[in-house]
Amino acid sequence: MNIAPGKTEASGIPFDQARVDRLMEEAGIDVLFATSKHNTQYLLGGYKFIFFAAMDAIGHSRYLPIVLYEKGGPEHAAYIGNKMEGGEHENHPFWTPTLHAACWGTLDAANLAVEHLQKIGKQAARIGIEPAFLPSDAYSLIRKALPDAKLIDATGMLARMRAIKTEAELEKLRTASELITDSMLATIAWAREGTTKTDIIEQLRREETNRGAHFEYCLLTLGASHNRAASSQAWKQGEVLSIDSGGNYHGYIGDLCRMGILGEPDAELEDLLSEVESVQQAAFSKVKAGTLGGDMIAHAESVLKASKVAAFTDFFAHGMGLITHEAPFLMTNHPVTYEGTYAAKPLEKNMVLSVETTMLHPTRGFIKLEDTVAVTDTGYAMFGDRGRGWNRGGVA
């Protein structure tokens, strides 16, 4: 399907065009060539093709969605997708004036992208690409077909684009967090003595799915173990449980961690979780629009350093949105490999953060809280703010 420029039936651009144009200008980009699922979803206003939601490979190639957007020229925007996406357009038209729902692999998609750039006179433009999400065969084709174009890494620019959430995005992140929290608490209450890690993870998957979330993973520990992989290990009376799950709601991630106990927590366990909570609260106290990201990190780390559990406890904070680690990037290589480029920048309203404190206690096990907060003008709004103490197992 090919809809000529200016003939779209869509209702409008689903992102802040002025902001995206400004970010492109700062990055020296004339045309965006977005190929990752998260950035094409963002630029299409939340759309992701369900057929390839859990996979990319098909035949001898793979699905390669492409959104082409010219700075200051939305009338020249195009979406290049799979042949089956013509039906999606019939039901819910894409906003882009040009649509090519015609591809089955990477090369035919790249060819159509090249043809579109030539048609709009941008064959020698500065093209912003996603190197980590552009297959080598498609890259080689583009490089050969457009010898006068300059290909620029747009990864950072696109991350900045997504950093400030709209109210609709915040609502999806809030919903994702609420659904994940509800699912984890229900799963802890359901599990009992003898229930295995594999069984608990499967129950969580059902709880999240039944609530309308898309389950992605569960990291689970029982007892004194720090191993978070699925296994036949069974929960025993008096043991702790940590349940850390990521799932999404309409593509937006919920990622939280809560603690369980089979029985009643003793005084030591109450004390250990309160140490974790103290570090979390220290971080929250510095979350506010205008505060330097690095200052929030430094304050939480200073509270942790003074704690009696500092030797086996770690603090971490990262951005959240369509992916689990995105802007603002607050810490360098801790643990995910990226630079903490936002540490020296102020937090901005509607950024979303995951704040987590993890204790690897030598005898009592894995004790952790992970929370999701949205930055506001006066502080923060917490999503999924329940079950942050010791939750009893075997009570459902």
pLDDT by position in tens, the chain (length 396): 443 333 333 449 999 999 999 999 999 999 999 999 999 999 999 999 999 998 999 999 999 999 999 999 999 999 999 999 999 999 999 999 999 999 999 999 999 999 999 999 999 999 999 999 999 999 999 999 999 999 999 999 999 999 999 999 999 999 999 999 999 999 999 999 999 999 999 999 999 999 999 999 999 999 999 999 999 999 999 999 999 999 999 999 999 999 999 999 999 999 999 999 999 999 999 999 999 999 999 999 999 999 999 999 999 999 999 999 999 999 999 999 999 999 999 999 999 999 999 999 999 999 999 999 999 999 999 999 999 999 999 998
CA angle (46 as vertex; 41, 52 as ends), nearest 5: 55
- Residue with token string 């509270």: 303
Phi, psi dihedral angles at 18 (to 5 degrees): -60, -40
The predicted pLDDT at position 393 comes to 98
pLDDT of res. 396 = 87
- Residues in CB range of 121: below 8 A, 6 or more apart: none
Residue 215's DSSP bridge partners are 247
- The predicted model scores a pTM of 0.94
Angle at 154 between CA 29 and CA 120, to 5 degrees: 45
In angstroms, the first-to-last Cα distance of the chain is 53
Residue 322 tokens, joined:
């369509």
pLDDT digits (tens, 9 = 90+) for 234-277: 999 999 999 999 999 999 999 999 999 999 999 999 999 999 99
CA distance linking residue 116 with residue 79, whole number of Å: 10
- Alpha-helical runs (H) found in the chain: 17-27, 37-43, 85-91, 106-119, 136-145, 155-163, 167-190, 197-210, 267-284, 293-305
CB 104 within 8 A of CB 61: yes
Looking at residue 316, what DSSP letter applies?
A: E
Give me the pLDDT at residue 54, please.
87
Cα 366 to Cα 27, 258, 314, 369, 384: the distances in Å are 43, 11, 12, 10, 21
Q: 295, 360, 293, 378: which is closest to 329 by C-alpha?
A: 293
Measured distance CA(276)–CA(269) in Å, rounded: 11
Query: What pLDDT does 5 receive?
Result: 34
Q: What is the pLDDT of residue 17?
A: 96
Q: What value does the mean pLDDT of the chain take?
A: 96
Q: CB–CB of 79/86 below 8 Å?
A: no
Q: Specify the amino acid at residue 214.
A: H
